[in-house]
Structure 1
């Protein structure tokens, strides 16, 4: 058989693989052809709001349906009704709630996100805190809703640079999130190489390790930075109280998923965990307007506890 004819033949192994893949895709489509019923969505919506604080209006039904497909596959369930019954069963309440958190939460972040905040932190807030506390106290910083870790690692780099300039300046960072899965990713401190483009060159040289294997295109935060951060799981809907009030709290682009009443309750909790004179940073798409809180505004989305 000549070369051209051989080249035109189909490898039976490859063909079998493609057929199997098509069959799996077909079964998947059949499995989820039934849409989530309104009654199931209403139950899920109420649960997600009460347990995690996240508002889930009817317009989010298709999104929620899409995200739940992963769990239906993992559990071998055939419909959203079956999944709903499982989630609300005693076994589901014990075993599935954490998976539910991982599925419904949104984790969008990057290094030096909303960079103006870090300018304010470096130029105004840290000098004020340093002047007030000096070398006698470790500065406590909380990254609330830390997602995959870019925010606390950014804070660690900025504060480390400040500490290099101010001998005796000491700090520690607490980073919390509701999702155990995303916290595990944050603790690994491994990111795609292109993520490093957001980090200033001088900091990149000092605090970022590049994979020795060029094919992997990965970076990892240096151990010096990793050791500055303590990660912990926290649900904002719980009646939490930190062991020690914080000097600086970053909670940015988290409460946008909560309704207004839940936002005010949460910010009140933050104030209870913030030292007098301490600072709160929120996202530029968020607002404290009309809320009765012991805070005064210093700059857009930057507040100080009275």
Structure 2
């Protein structure tokens, strides 16, 4: 078979194969794929087929059918979107620094703070939370029990997050946070930065499928669930909001992405900022 013929076979993502893949992804991760995602799925699935040296999309679908448990992590990793950056939607971190941490420092008699980044991707979000925490608490953090949990379904991005090494860019992080929290590389690593140990020590990274059981008990003072809810259908969203609500302390914060909302679950929270919601202290 010629290269052109092989590529033509590979390029035939039939409606049947697309429907099967959408169902497979939904059952395994809760992520909803529809026609609007077909081009994205096509591009990413093309890479999978070529990496596996397969002849067609149909051949890979057969692998998913015959060996789903062994293949699911690799496949979900390959197709999930992991767009993130340090201090993305910075107003959330400003609210933590200027309002929530002063509140926690004044009200938490047990001197215990727990924060969860529930879709942490390559780590920029939890590291931004940790830097904000260090900045807001200053020397008082020595006398407090502060921990940040960071989870994601994708094992590949978690490996990047745990390493804490990133390409240095002019707009990587606000200037006020650069000193003391990032170590610039030298020589062959001059174009990279490493997260400082004092930041990394606050965070525990774990792989977690949000649709499966959650081993942690909480309660959490703050939960970040940003830019992931949009991939789920309404019933799944409401189930997740209910589970987040149960894990939040009374008065705790749930923070969503800029294009997300609580929908009908809004009635159980107070809106206190742009996509920042508080579980009532009572009731």
TM-score by length of 1: 0.85
**2:93 alignment partner, one of 118, 125, 129:** 118
Compare 94-103 and 55-64 and name the one that shifted more. 55-64
The Cα offsets for residues 59-87 of structure 1, whole Å up to 9 and x where unpaired, read as 32232122112221232210111111111
Map of 1:187-202 to 2, 5 A cutoff? 187-194=162-169, 197-202=171-176
Residues of 1 paired with 2:18 and 2:222: CA distance? 38
Residues of 2 paired with 1:215 and 1:240: CA distance? 38
CA shift for structure 1 position 163: 1.9
Paired position in structure 2 for 1:83 = 60
Contact 1:210 1:218 in 2 (8 A): yes
Paired position in structure 2 for 1:231 = 205
Would you identify which runs of 4 or more consecutive aligned residues in structure 1 move more than 4 Å? none
Closer, same or farther: CA 30–269 of 1 in aligned 2, 3 Å:
farther
SS in 2 for 1:303: strand
**2:146 alignment partner, one of 171, 174, 177:** 171
SS in 2 for 1:291: helix
Residues of 1 paired with 2:132 and 2:245: CA distance? 24
Residues of 2 paired with 1:42 and 1:153: CA distance? 37
| Larger Rg over CA atoms | 1
Map of 1:64-83 to 2, 5 A cutoff? 64-83=41-60
Residues of 2 paired with 1:149 and 1:80: CA distance? 32
Closer, same or farther: CA 85–267 of 1 in aligned 2, 3 Å:
same
Paired position in structure 2 for 1:295 = 269
Contact 1:32 1:69 in 2 (8 A): no
**1:268 alignment partner, one of 217, 223, 242:** 242
Residues of 2 paired with 1:215 and 1:139: CA distance? 35
Q: In the alignment, is residue 39 of structure 1 matched against residue 16 of structure 2?
A: yes
**2:25 alignment partner, one of 23, 48, 54:** 48
CA shift for structure 1 position 33: 1.6
Compare 287-296 and 233-242 and name the one that shifted more. 287-296
CA shift for structure 1 position 214: 6.0
CA shift for structure 1 position 105: 0.7
**2:38 alignment partner, one of 57, 61, 66:** 61
Paired position in structure 1 for 2:155 = 180
Gaps of 5+ in 1: 1-25
Paired position in structure 1 for 2:196 = 222
Gaps of 5+ in 2: none
Residues of 2 paired with 1:115 and 1:55: CA distance? 28
Q: In the alignment, is residue 204 of structure 1 matched against residue 178 of structure 2?
A: yes
Count of residues paired in the alignment: 276
Paired position in structure 2 for 1:253 = 227
TM-score by length of 2: 0.91
